[in-house]
Structure 1
Amino acid sequence: MIGCAYVPRGTRLPFIFITLVCTTILLWVWEKTPFLSTYGRVLQLSPDILAGLHVISVPSQQQMHVDNNRSTYVRNGTFDEHTGQTVVMEMQVDSAKAPRKANSEGIFPLRDRSSESSEVRIGAPMPVSSANASTLGSKADEENLINGENNQTCNYARGKWVEDDRRPFYSGSGCKKWLSEMWACRLTQRTDFAYEKFRWQPQDCEMEEFERSKFFNRMQSKTLAFIGDSLGRQQFQSLMCMITGGEEQPDVMNVGWEYGLVKARGAVRPDGWAYRFPGSNTTILFYWSACLCDLEPLNRSDPLTQYAMHLDRSPAFLRRFLDKFDVLVLNTGHHWNRGKLNANRWVMHVKGLPNTDSKIAAIKGAKSFTIRSIIKWVDSQLSDHPRLKAFYRSISPRHFFNGDWNTGGTCDNTNPLSKGKEVVQDGSGDWVPARAVEGTKVKLLDITALSQLRDEGHISRYGIRAAPGAQDCLHWCLPGIPDAWNEILFAQL
């Protein structure tokens, strides 16, 4: 026979027997040796993924993680029942040269003929399971990894207002220690208070009911800081009334001095307030920063000096005390008009110099630039402050009709929900911060659209200090709409 050595006729049977025995031993060794067994599986892979392939063995229960500090890695493997180990194939993928790309869900297809499953998720831990000898983990494990904990994030901004006799959380004629008289509509000539009897119900989830005890448990030895304009101050006062039930609490400590929040000589009020509840060591504070940017006098010796309005620099107060905060709620909006800037003698600065960019010089452009800057800066600080939860509250809507605040604008409606009760849109009604928080760890406290439906909740003509003929269609009666903002905030803590 061609290609075969000649064997004498009398010795062929022993030779065949020896050949069979050797073949059996070779097959047994092949099956028992992890490296050879793995090498056999590697040979089944398509040639275009063999480059950069490493073979490693790990304990059967070890959690596999993708190395995000180098090039992207994908791993696959099988469980070897003889050794009690899982043989894992690790492939380094050069994103510039990879023959296939991950799809929109992060799935990277691998043409691995050794398994019916050919998808490996990038960037998610892959548990090694001994229950399946041919794949790395079961189908159920893979689905759990893809879906996380199967918890969908609630869209608190979409939902409806519903009547609730359990509202309000506090008396509108009480809470005198925390609530400014100008916002306490029960102390005015107003007689209709139906606006107090509504709560916000998100469409996609049951929002957790606000409870004072839960709030203090959640905020044990923590500090919540509101930084923004007068609407931020309303939210601060609303929360103070909610967590006290509007009742006098003599043991609550005024700790404004710890933050420099003391009334300066000749000032109408301090730059903010800070209170601490001894029972839980919880601190709640508000700092007034209408533009959410740093203000610096150009000539400290001149009482009429102009102020550098550093659009790309966070307020000095925030930079100084950020280490003390556990929850941060920012807002700005209604001071961004030419009249306010001129009256306050604010001059726009960028990178430490007077602004020369015409796009930023426009009020709308300056506001957008500042919001993006403050959100970007806060996000950059979160890695150094892992306990900090940061929120940007979207703008509170105005409801002036037939004019503005100084041109006869009114908001006389007292009929709740006359403009509808439901928000069905997915996107935010305040698109600038909504886009700015994308890709960051700063959360949007989106209250714009839900507040837009509540024009009857403004102070209107009933304000104690309102000038004759002028109406306040910007600020809200308390108790009122800002209570719902704090309920949403509480649900996200």
Structure 2
Amino acid sequence: CDIYSGRWVRDDGYPLFQPSFCPFTDGAFQCQENGRNDSGYLHWRWQPHSCDLPRFNATDMMERLRNKTLAFVGDSLGRNQWESLVCMLYQAARNKRNVYEAHRQRVAKAGYYYSIVFADHRVHIDFYRSHFLVAENRRLPDKIKSAAANCTLSLDRLDPAAREWRSADLIVFNSGHWWEHRSIHSGECYFIQGSNYTTQMDGLAAFETSMKTWARWIDRHIGRTQKIFVRGYSPNHFSGGDWDTGGSCESHLEPLADEFKLDELSSKVDVFSRVLRSMKTRVTFLNVTKLSLFRKDGHVARWGKKHGWDQQDCSHWCLPGVPDTWNELLYASLV
């Protein structure tokens, strides 16, 4: 059964947690708390066409993770998914005082690393921020610096923090969102491979090169008992502009009804498929792109701050919401 081919169905058994009772969500994802007054987007379940997904069971998930570390590595959309899973598990924790951030940090947008401890099961659910998975902001030789370029990406070197990720028992990676930034496509970023430096490289080609570097690292460093996942591209739904030019998505209150083609997003899905086929290590692909495309209603939109704001966020998702389904698919791959 292809669990990624299906439709969204109304289900009043959702959401799987209440945001006001989860202390580990960034305020920017708490749409209801920030004043969103429609709640229909909370009550949708992903239904594959030819089978059923197992109902998410937080108690069973915790038993499967007992004495283990599950790490999410990626950008803020990876943190979106990480916060979702933490809250899905926290909802079922009997002794909530035994669930805490290991360093007593408050979860916030700027954080690089968080580790939520479920002490009763000796489980750690970690998040590592890595925008591109490869190394960024490497110092350039003075002779090639350009006033127009304000970032560097070492396409042949994984993020140095990889030495911290590699010990996790299960790792969920994501990449793609930051490859859409204007700097990647407008000559404002140096792409580095060995001793070669250029600002003139196709963004999709650079993305694929970075994922090949990630794949080589996985094949070289990941042990047989570790489980590796890569979550597919999370689509945005800006209409009438981009995030900084008046784009919006708040007018949609239900999932899109019609089937559609991935069109321009298919190129990113194809990158993941090609890279994963080339690998020796078994990696589970959480192919969430198409099912997420239906959910224009699920974005933060103007509810990333109390009482809303003018600049809309049509990339990240409200919690509870679409990332909960990504985690249901993660759970389905473990049972």
Which residue of 2 is the match for residue 456 of structure 1?
Answer: 297
Which residue of 2 is the match for residue 471 of structure 1?
Answer: 312
Which residue of 1 is the match for residue 329 of structure 2?
Answer: 488
Match for residue 403 of structure 1 among 237, 241, 260: 241
TM superposition score normalised by structure 1: 0.59
Structure 1 residues 196, 337: closer, same or farther in 2, change over 3 A? closer
Q: Please give the per-residue CA displacement for 1:143-174, whole angstroms capped at 9, x wherever unaligned.
A: xxxxxxxxxxx422111212222111111333
Matches within 5 A, 1:126-137: none
Which residue of 2 is the match for residue 185 of structure 1?
Answer: 31
- Secondary structure of the equivalent of 1:313? strand
- Aligned-residue sequence identity (percent) comes to 32
1:326 and 1:190 map into 2 onto residues whose CA distance is 37
Which residue of 2 is the match for residue 292 of structure 1?
Answer: 133
Which residue of 2 is the match for residue 165 of structure 1?
Answer: 12
1:432 and 1:488 map into 2 onto residues whose CA distance is 21
Structure 2 residue 42 is the aligned partner of structure 1 residue 196: yes
2:181 and 2:295 map into 1 onto residues whose CA distance is 28
RMSD of the alignment, in Å?
3.1
Structure 2 residue 202 is the aligned partner of structure 1 residue 350: no
One-letter code aligned to 2:60 = K
Structure 1 residues 423, 409: closer, same or farther in 2, change over 3 A? closer
Shift of 1:413: 2.8
Quick check: which has more Rg, 1 or 2?
1
Which residue of 2 is the match for residue 335 of structure 1?
Answer: 178
Structure 1 residues 439, 410: closer, same or farther in 2, change over 3 A? same
Shift of 1:364: 2.1
Asked whether the equivalents of residues 331 and 393 of structure 1 are also in contact (C-alpha less than 8 Å), the reply is yes
Structure 1 residues 428, 416: closer, same or farther in 2, change over 3 A? farther
Match for residue 227 of structure 2 among 380, 384, 389: 389
1:339 and 1:467 map into 2 onto residues whose CA distance is 26
Asked whether the equivalents of residues 238 and 249 of structure 2 are also in contact (C-alpha less than 8 Å), the reply is yes
1:429 and 1:308 map into 2 onto residues whose CA distance is 21
Structure 2 residue 219 is the aligned partner of structure 1 residue 379: yes
Asked whether the equivalents of residues 158 and 423 of structure 1 are also in contact (C-alpha less than 8 Å), the reply is no
Which segment is superposed worse, 204-213 or 440-449?
A: 204-213
One-letter code aligned to 2:197 = N
Shift of 1:309: 2.2
Structure 2 residue 61 is the aligned partner of structure 1 residue 223: no
Which residue of 2 is the match for residue 313 of structure 1?
Answer: 157
Q: Please give the per-residue CA displacement for 1:439-460, whole angstroms capped at 9, x wherever unaligned.
A: 4312211100000001011111
Asked whether the equivalents of residues 378 and 442 of structure 1 are also in contact (C-alpha less than 8 Å), the reply is no
Note the residue ranges of structure 2 that are not aligned, 5 or more in a row: 141-148
Which residue of 2 is the match for residue 370 of structure 1?
Answer: 210
Which residue of 1 is the match for residue 144 of structure 2?
Answer: none
Structure 1 residues 203, 307: closer, same or farther in 2, change over 3 A? same
Asked whether the equivalents of residues 160 and 423 of structure 1 are also in contact (C-alpha less than 8 Å), the reply is no
- Secondary structure of the equivalent of 1:185? coil
Asked whether the equivalents of residues 170 and 245 of structure 1 are also in contact (C-alpha less than 8 Å), the reply is yes
Asked whether the equivalents of residues 183 and 476 of structure 1 are also in contact (C-alpha less than 8 Å), the reply is yes
Shift of 1:418: 3.4
One-letter code aligned to 1:408 = G
The ranges of structure 1 where at least 4 consecutive aligned residues each deviate by more than 4 angstroms after the TM superposition are 305-308, 340-343, 421-425, 465-468
1:403 and 1:309 map into 2 onto residues whose CA distance is 27
One-letter code aligned to 2:209 = F
Matches within 5 A, 1:63-78: none
Structure 1 residues 465, 333: closer, same or farther in 2, change over 3 A? farther
Match for residue 249 of structure 1 among 77, 96, 121: 96
Q: Please give the per-residue CA displacement for 1:31-57, whole angstroms capped at 9, x wherever unaligned.
A: xxxxxxxxxxxxxxxxxxxxxxxxxxx
Structure 1 residues 478, 402: closer, same or farther in 2, change over 3 A? same
Q: Please give the per-residue CA displacement for 1:213-232, whole angstroms capped at 9, x wherever unaligned.
A: 10011111111110100000
Asked whether the equivalents of residues 238 and 478 of structure 1 are also in contact (C-alpha less than 8 Å), the reply is yes
One-letter code aligned to 1:241 = C
Shift of 1:423: 9.2
Paired residues, number = 319
One-letter code aligned to 1:409 = G
Which residue of 1 is the match for residue 146 of structure 2?
Answer: none
Structure 1 residues 181, 458: closer, same or farther in 2, change over 3 A? same
Which segment is superposed worse, 462-471 or 432-441?
A: 462-471
Structure 2 residue 278 is the aligned partner of structure 1 residue 434: no
1:174 and 1:365 map into 2 onto residues whose CA distance is 43
1:271 and 1:424 map into 2 onto residues whose CA distance is 32
Asked whether the equivalents of residues 298 and 306 of structure 1 are also in contact (C-alpha less than 8 Å), the reply is no
Note the residue ranges of structure 1 that are not aligned, 5 or more in a row: 1-153, 300-304
Which residue of 1 is the match for residue 143 of structure 2?
Answer: none
Structure 1 residues 338, 161: closer, same or farther in 2, change over 3 A? closer
Structure 1 residues 418, 193: closer, same or farther in 2, change over 3 A? same
Asked whether the equivalents of residues 161 and 421 of structure 1 are also in contact (C-alpha less than 8 Å), the reply is no
One-letter code aligned to 1:397 = P
Q: Please give the per-residue CA displacement for 1:101-121, whole angstroms capped at 9, x wherever unaligned.
A: xxxxxxxxxxxxxxxxxxxxx
> Which fold has the larger relative contact order, with Cα–Cα distance below 8 Å and residues 6 or more apart in sequence?
2
TM superposition score normalised by structure 2: 0.85
1:308 and 1:415 map into 2 onto residues whose CA distance is 39
Shift of 1:203: 2.5
Shift of 1:377: 2.3
Asked whether the equivalents of residues 41 and 254 of structure 2 are also in contact (C-alpha less than 8 Å), the reply is yes
